[in-house]
Structure 1
């Protein structure tokens, strides 16, 4: 069987909407995929401000944002379909933009009204890909465990370094979890120099690691939590930036130290799972393009090709949405900590 799915991912780094048009093929229980077309559509500056301030909105204003964001997405996807001359789409799968994520309170809210998007595109749309897992006591994120298991069988460890770094580890069981904040902080620090991001980690490579800052970052309570675990976007402003801002050191030194912190936290988990030097480790996400950061790893890691680096999570969203469309499991209890496996998502067919 072949399925053509558009996956939409809006990450916490707010660099834009990732769109991946994928063909999934199934031969019994063997899945494969091909990215047929892709794009990252940048958000206008006013939308970055709107999405960043969404947690402070009133209930009514948040619903209005949910609707207007869906209209924005619909226009982006419609343009993408026209530009790429796409004629066959079985469904669209939307992760949505995360406003709140507090799984301990059974709350994980992603905006992007699926009914509106379905009506505008005249296509089936799958949204709300976390709620059932959260209701069953799971973390609801990362969503990548099922795709890492079925689409990337050759890798034992898969690490995505985006706004937040997450990791999937396969062994006797499979577990996916958020490791630490990554590009959210690196990009905020780069903005101090008038840049959107630190290209290749060039500024970080000129800085010096501040031992005291490194120690304070690694002592944050989150890093003592048992797995699986996940992060809300507010963690950056509430827990990390106050520490970074308390140090009167150069931006370059902060970047160097935070890169060291990211690698340290990732490698701590690799050591806990007894990952050896022969294990196949794949790194994707924007952080994979940071040469300074990748060069800090003591493990041998594989960096995906450009398309996979940028669009792996959009592929995972497309695959999760497809499984929901087929009525199959798309969240694994052993990975998320839920009471049982579940099929997550709401199907809109306006």
Structure 2
């Protein structure tokens, strides 16, 4: 079965509401993540609660410093500092997430890297582009001429998004070492060994004048992986802690979790798709309103209904939940046909539109708790689940998820609560993956993707695309800068 790749963020940002204050979910007061121009958001966690992100004086460090402490500097007093842009477009097909970041450290070096978000923007797709992308999900309609034309058009839109966020960050294109573009997935078939993302990297490189890395997934597929999820590699770099086991739960169109055990090495990290995320929630909202709603913004529809236990019991029997890990899923399993069956069954049971929305919202929360029981708890008792993606802006979903995980002794927090950004997280990840590609460093986690071995991900566009990463890294390593220390 062909599947779009996992772990992509659905855009739930418009019309969102604040989470129920009675629910044990941490979100920062400055909701919406990092701000542009290098203003870093403060966390509500007390100093020391996130050792990988806070220094001795309690000030937030650069996001995800790989060792406890503040910013990273070279032992001889120099810094390898560069700027990158990450572009992400997910299964919700809402538009392009663009993040401009500062990266410090040597890719693949002993000291790791740190990342600071400088600016973030979301550029919605034009209505005709979004409509045609959905049509291209159908292989019968994805003819070569249509795919080719959209590949170029998206390249232009991605380039525009990159240039826009660079300006918002107060940079010029000449300051930026690389653009990492995930592209728009239109078909993902890991069982057949291929995947298709469009949004031509050569167009991005030509229009921005910046080297572009794209097509990240095929290299993992070529060595036996599923080509997904890829973000766990960056989560390992940026979030691991010596004393706490963390779960990084993304709720985009599909939900996926990364398990980062306390004091782990890269071989200990694993990840998989937990099941449907916003795909069912948004799909039900659209279907029952005849398209008047594109999503259940802020959980408003679900908040007026009640989850139906009969329908929930039936939906929980889907075979996906018991499949062994690593695994991934997508529209082919939880797409249009599945949604229509849910709504038909709901009508047979006499459910209202709000009840249907509440039921699939509860299903998403249940699937995450069920995945923890089946595939995580016996190996690692988690301390904290950090939730990102569009689903983190749905207070009904977050309430249900907090209740699920509280019963298992796991605290739930949002990306914003730990100083991150639910909006920007995956765009940041592809900026960092591009940085590793430029240095020709492996950037997949075989335990997460099922690959036989680590692989260098991505294809670079322009003849100078690896020059900065390779030359800078080699020069520093030759001069003995293989370790870092906290400032």
Counterpart position of 1:44: 126
- Residues matched between the structures, number: 350
User: What's the offset of the Cα at 1:78?
Assistant: 2.5
1:249-264 equivalence runs, <5 A: 249-264=351-366
1:135-150 equivalence runs, <5 A: 135-150=222-237
> Quick one: which of 118, 136, 142 aligns to 1:57?
142
Counterpart position of 2:196: 109
User: What's the offset of the Cα at 1:336?
Assistant: 0.9
Query: Aligned partners of 1:255 and 1:213: how far apart in 2?
Result: 12
What secondary structure is seen at the aligned counterpart in 2 of 1:296?
helix
Query: Aligned partners of 2:223 and 2:426: how far apart in 1?
Result: 23
What secondary structure is seen at the aligned counterpart in 2 of 1:68?
helix
Q: RMSD of the TM alignment (CA)?
A: 1.9
Moved more, 307-316 or 170-179: 170-179
Question: Structure 1's 76 and 289: CA in aligned 2 closer, same or farther, altered over 3 A?
Answer: same
What secondary structure is seen at the aligned counterpart in 2 of 1:317?
helix
What secondary structure is seen at the aligned counterpart in 2 of 1:12?
coil
Query: Aligned partners of 2:367 and 2:445: how far apart in 1?
Result: 24
Query: Aligned partners of 1:277 and 1:83: how far apart in 2?
Result: 41
Give the conservation status (yes or no) of the 8 Å contact 2:276–2:364.
yes
1:1-350 equivalence runs, <5 A: 1-26=80-105, 28-55=110-137, 56-87=141-172, 88-154=175-241, 156-171=246-261, 173-191=268-286, 192-193=288-289, 194-237=292-335, 240-247=338-345, 248=347, 249-272=351-374, 273-274=376-377, 279-297=383-401, 298=403, 299=405, 300-305=411-416, 308-349=421-462
Provide Cα deviations, 1:81-139, integer angstroms capped at 9, x if missing partner: 33443222110000011111110100211111111111111110000101011121111
What secondary structure is seen at the aligned counterpart in 2 of 1:93?
strand
Q: Larger Cα Rg: Structure 1 or Structure 2?
A: 2
Query: Aligned partners of 1:312 and 1:97: how far apart in 2?
Result: 17
Query: Aligned partners of 1:76 and 1:148: how far apart in 2?
Result: 24
Give the conservation status (yes or no) of the 8 Å contact 2:87–2:427.
yes
Provide Cα deviations, 1:269-293, integer angstroms capped at 9, x if missing partner: 2223117876121100110111111
Counterpart position of 2:32: none
Query: Aligned partners of 2:382 and 2:218: how far apart in 1?
Result: 37
Query: Aligned partners of 1:239 and 1:279: how far apart in 2?
Result: 37
What secondary structure is seen at the aligned counterpart in 2 of 1:142?
coil
Query: Aligned partners of 1:210 and 1:329: how far apart in 2?
Result: 46
Question: Structure 1's 233 and 325: CA in aligned 2 closer, same or farther, altered over 3 A?
Answer: farther
Give the TM-score taking structure 1 as reference length.
0.94
Which structure shows the higher helix fraction?
1
Give the TM-score taking structure 2 as reference length.
0.69
Give the conservation status (yes or no) of the 8 Å contact 1:100–1:232.
no
Give the conservation status (yes or no) of the 8 Å contact 2:230–2:445.
no
Question: Structure 1's 169 and 290: CA in aligned 2 closer, same or farther, altered over 3 A?
Answer: same
The answer to which structure, 1 or 2, has the higher relative contact order (CA under 8 A, 6+ apart) is 2
What secondary structure is seen at the aligned counterpart in 1 of 2:176?
coil
Please list every run of 5 or more consecutive structure 2 residues that lacks an aligned counterpart in the other structure. 1-79, 406-410, 464-487
Give the conservation status (yes or no) of the 8 Å contact 1:209–1:254.
yes
Query: Aligned partners of 1:40 and 1:290: how far apart in 2?
Result: 18
Query: Aligned partners of 2:318 and 2:373: how far apart in 1?
Result: 19
What secondary structure is seen at the aligned counterpart in 2 of 1:309?
coil
User: What's the offset of the Cα at 1:200?
Assistant: 2.4
User: What's the offset of the Cα at 1:239?
Assistant: 5.1
Give the conservation status (yes or no) of the 8 Å contact 2:253–2:279.
yes
Give the conservation status (yes or no) of the 8 Å contact 2:98–2:161.
no
